[in-house]
Structure formats: C-alpha cells, structure tokens
Amino acid sequence: MNIALISGTSGLVGMQLLHQLLQGNTYDYVLSVGRRKLSLKHGKLIQIDGDLFNLESWDWQEMIKSQSLGGEYHAFLDAVTDKKATIHAFSSLGTTIKVAGSKEKFFAIDHDLVLGFARWAKKIGASRFLYVSALGADAKSSVFYNKVKGQTEADLKALEFEYLGLFRPSLLLGNRSEFRMGELVASVLMKPLVWLKIAKNIRPIYDYQVAKAMVKKANSSYAAPVEIVPSGQMQDLSQ
C-alpha cells in the first residue's frame, strides 16, 4: 500500500499538491494533517486536525478510527501499524511575517511546525520527505526569511530520511487566498521571463508546476539521500 502524508494544504502549493495526490494513481490513501479539516470529500482522503504544535502527542490512530465506523480505514491503519506501507510525506507549511505577526511566530510556523510534522511522519514510517523551501534558503543569510528556510532545511537533513527533497521555487504564480502587493508587482515585472522562457531558476513558477515536480520526485530513483531541486528543474519535471 502506498500512502501520502501532507501538511500545509491551505497554501498555494499545498492545494495543488493535494489535487495531484488525489487525482493520481500512485497513492492508495492521502492523509491530510492540519489545523482544521478541508471542506473536501474524496475516497482516498483522510483528514485529522488539531493543534499542530502538539502533533507529536496526537492519538492520530483513534482520530482516524472515530471516522471509520464502517471500517473503511481499517486497511490503512493496519498497513501503517504493521509497517506494510510505503509512506511519503509532503510539507508545504509556511506563512509570511506579515500574516504571522512577528518574527518569532513566523519561525514557529515555518520552522517548528515543519520539523514537528517531519518527526511525526518519520515516526509512523515515512521514508521520503519533500519540503517546499524557497529560492535563496541559507542558514547563514542576513535575510531573516532565507535564514529560517535554510535552518529548516538543515534540521530536516539531521532527521536522516531515506530521501529528502528540498524544493526551492522562485516567485510563485497562482490564485492566492490573500492579496500580496509586493508579489503582484514582482510577478508583473518578471512574467516576461516566463513568456520568453529564459532564466529558468529565477523566473516565476506556477504552483501546479511545483506540485507536479514534488510528486514525480517522490516516486523517482535518487542518487543521493538529500537533493536540492531548483525552480528550473521543477519546470522541466512538470512538463
């Protein structure tokens, strides 16, 4: 049995990623972990929700059993418990300092929640972890956003997954739920790079392209246990 774990489905890439996981034939079940359930029903989708800062103490099996009164998720639970499933985890968790309200709260979401989800995913058997980072991620950067992304990458490496994919998209294009003036201006100025098909690693990339690349990489062979996937490579993978 193939299982996908996902967290961060309310975001731009997360929504596209969930769509890819549900519509494809690779995974038998998709377990979405979030602060609240999505208003979405699908035969392969299981949802559990709560305080993500306490994810590692959740009784997630009971949470799933309570939704499986007819026994529809027993096969899923048995496969995970008996370690008879191939499990891949996908994280697109992230926010902005403006939305978070402070640097401290931003760090708590973009670092602590991601690491908490990764530890939990590995504990229940995930062998591969795929994370949406950012162009310029660098733990030594003087730019706070890039520094946090870089530190998150470094701490994910320390968990030693069988495979860790670090996806570094450039400016994301798609239908955001919230308005961001800076990104709107940047996307207008940089869209000619998309039309002209030049500067692949810095030109804007669509949310669905990142999602497609993540799913493809999750199910491909790898040369090294840690791989940094730049924006240009994601665009090639999504063809």
Q: Supply 129's token pair.
A: 């972890």
pLDDT at residue 196 greater than cutoff 80? no
The pLDDT of residue 177 is 52
What are the CA-CA distances from residue 205 to residues 49, 125, 233, 238 (Å)? 30, 32, 11, 11
Average pLDDT over the chain, rounded to an integer: 90
pLDDT at residue 162 greater than cutoff 80? yes
Nearest Cα to 200, choosing from 238, 146, 147? 238
The pLDDT of residue 174 is 74
Max mean pLDDT range (39-53, 162-176, 177-191): 39-53
pLDDT at residue 182 greater than cutoff 50? no
The confidence band for 181, taking pLDDT boundaries of 50, 70 and 90, is very low
Three-class secondary structure of residue 96 per DSSP: coil
Which residues lie closer than 8 Å to 77 by C-beta, 6 or more apart?
Answer: 61, 64, 65, 68
pLDDT at residue 161 greater than cutoff 90? yes
Q: Looking at per-residue confidence, does 187 or 78 come out higher?
A: 78
The residue extents of the domains of the chain are 2-237
Q: Supply 54's token pair.
A: 């306490």
pLDDT at residue 213 greater than cutoff 60? yes
Whether pTM exceeds 0.85: yes
pLDDT at residue 198 greater than cutoff 90? no
Query: What confidence tens digit (pLDDT) does each residue in 6-52 have?
Result: 999 989 999 999 999 999 999 999 999 999 999 899 999 999 999 99
Q: How confident is the model over 150-167, as a mean pLDDT?
A: 98
The pLDDT of residue 197 is 55
pLDDT at residue 184 greater than cutoff 50? no
The pLDDT of residue 194 is 52
Round to whole Å and give the CA distance between 98 and 102.
7
Q: How confident is the model over 160-172, as a mean pLDDT?
A: 96
The confidence band for 179, taking pLDDT boundaries of 50, 70 and 90, is very low
Task: Pick one of 3.30.413.10, 1.10.1040.10, 3.40.50.720, 3.30.830.10 as the CATH number of 2-237.
Answer: 3.40.50.720
pLDDT at residue 175 greater than cutoff 70? no
Cβ count within 10 A of residue 9 = 24
Name residue, tokens 């299982």. 3
**b/e per residue 120-138 (b: at least 16 CB within 10 A):** bbbebbbebbbbbbbeebe
Name residue, tokens 């000619």. 192
